[in-house]
Amino acid sequence: MSSASLIEFRNVSRTFGTGNKTITAVDDVSLTVDRGEVYGVIGFSGAGKSTLIRLINGLERPTAGSVHVLDQEISAMREGQLAKVRSRIGMVFQQFNLFHSRDVAGNVAYPLKVAGWKKSDRDARVAELLEFVGLSEKAEQHPEQLSGGQKQRVGIARALAAKPDILLADESTSALDPKTTAEVLQLLRRANEELGITIVAITHEMEVIRSIADRVAVMDQGRIVETGLVYDVFSSPRETKDASFVGAALKNRPSVEDVEWIRRHSSGRLIIVSLQNAGAVSAVLGEAATHGVSFEIVHGGMSTTKNASYGLLTLAVDGESDAVTAFVAALNAAGEVQEVHA
């Protein structure tokens, strides 16, 4: 395990036997999560994400391979040894999992009680956390009096209470509306940036990865089919069947149906230009008339990740063949151009 990595999976598989059928939920996964990063795992339902995250805190055991967390082989530990490592891992759930019998402060204080903090220290820590998540005035309310977003903020405060090194977020925004999702993601981002906590977030929502993750692993049928910096994976997803999750979720690349529709409604040569350097592309587009060509924007969009923006623009370019070729060459110099073939 390299000194920077907090979590390491080495050729990890987890199978479940049901009768004479075996399901491989996690299939030969190797990955490392470094200290201080936000690592996103994305995939369709059933891809194995929950099993993967549960392997990190020892709620699941691998059937092959090993899982190392905080320099210890968690997959080799007996149940009794797990409590200490688990106390350094906080977890946030899709359904919040708050105690309804306790008020907000009581929920946040719970892990501190378990960890043996004395009352005065607990009270000070709870006040600090409620301030951090913006819920100081709700300390004495009960979960049923809170909105979904507020409940999740309590969940995050509770997960952060004992100052863990790692925060596991299991579909933490899937039960929330888009505005509340954005607020919760911003809070997770602050936890990462201001408290330095390493986050592993599993989700089926592109938005979560886009806005908080540094690196992403795309899971499909138990395997990691693509991995890398979020920007790299999202700006040029591999065009394989397995990795279709990213391609399908990116709205800025026209689908086969979109292309058929565009061809019926526009004339000219159809190209897709990358907006990695949007300024340079705009400058070339502004010179279309001097090239003697015209173009129509027929599809596209831009998105931002934590570190950079990316996007694709699909254009139908009309004009004399040579002029179009020269214009496309100029665009290609500004942003990589792909032809859309019939």
Ligand X SMILES: Nc1ncnc2c1ncn2[C@@H]1O[C@H](COP(=O)(O)OP(=O)(O)OP(=O)(O)O)[C@@H](O)[C@H]1O
Binding residues for ligand X, rule: CB under 6 A, are 16, 18, 23, 25, 43, 45-51
* Nearest-approach distance from CB 239 to ligand X, in angstroms: 23
Helix (H, G, I), strand (E, B) or coil at 69: strand
Considering the complex, what minimum distance in angstroms separates the CB of residue 23 from ligand X? 5
Instruction: Judge contact between 227 and 43, C-beta under 8 A.
Output: no
Min dist CB 51 to ligand X, Å, is 3
Looking at the Cβ atoms of 104 and 208, the one nearer to ligand X is 208
Q: Give the shortest CB-147-to-ligand X separation in angstroms.
A: 24
Q: Least distance from C-beta 168 to ligand X, angstroms?
A: 13
Q: Compute the C-alpha angle 275/276/278, nearest 5°.
A: 50
Could you give the CA distance from residue 299 to residue 70 in angstroms, rounded to a whole number?
Answer: 46
CA dist 5 → 13, 54, 323 (Å)? 20, 18, 53
Residues 6+ apart with CB under 8 A from 19: none
Q: Which is nearer to ligand X, 14 or 153 (CB)?
A: 14
CA separation, residue 184 to residues 133, 144, 211 (Å): 9, 18, 11
Find out whether 6 and 74 touch, Cβ atoms under 8 Å: no
